[in-house]
């Protein structure tokens, strides 16, 4: 499964490269070799969701006494947000 490039619209972005783009790393299309990044307007809300998951799970672990369940909730939340990151955040061209 490959994701389409925003410039040439060919499936040239691997899931691994799109995942890396969600962590503010750039990548290149396999077909047109354009430099791509995740759209920052979509990346900011996902970053806030990451921080929210971390804050809620830390609160549950430290103050509520949820123990290992809080860590499990954190891992599950992190995996869900990562999956949504790969599936939903659009890519943009960085070379103008």
For the chain, which residues make up each domain, given as ranges? 3-93
| pTM greater than 0.75 (yes/no) | no
Token pair recorded at residue 13: 């972005």
Q: Report d(CA 24, CA 15) in Å as an integer.
A: 15
Token pair recorded at residue 65: 């006494």
Residue 19 has pLDDT above 70, yes or no: yes
User: What average pLDDT is seen over the chain?
Assistant: 83
pLDDT, residue 27, reads 87
pLDDT, residue 95, reads 67
Residue 79 has pLDDT above 80, yes or no: yes
Listed residue (96, 75, 94) closest to 24, CA to CA = 94
């Amino acid at each position: 499964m490959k994701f389409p490039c925003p410039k040439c619209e060919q499936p040239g972005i691997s899931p691994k490269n799109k995942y890396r783009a969600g962590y503010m790393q750039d990548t290149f299309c396999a077909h047109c070799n354009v430099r791509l990044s995740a759209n920052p307007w979509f990346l900011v809300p996902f970053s806030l969701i990451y921080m929210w998951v971390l804050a809620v799970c830390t609160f549950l672990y430290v103050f509520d006494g949820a123990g290992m369940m809080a860590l499990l909730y954190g891992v599950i939340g992190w995996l869900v947000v990562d999956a949504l990151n790969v599936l939903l955040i659009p890519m943009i061209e960085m070379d103008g």
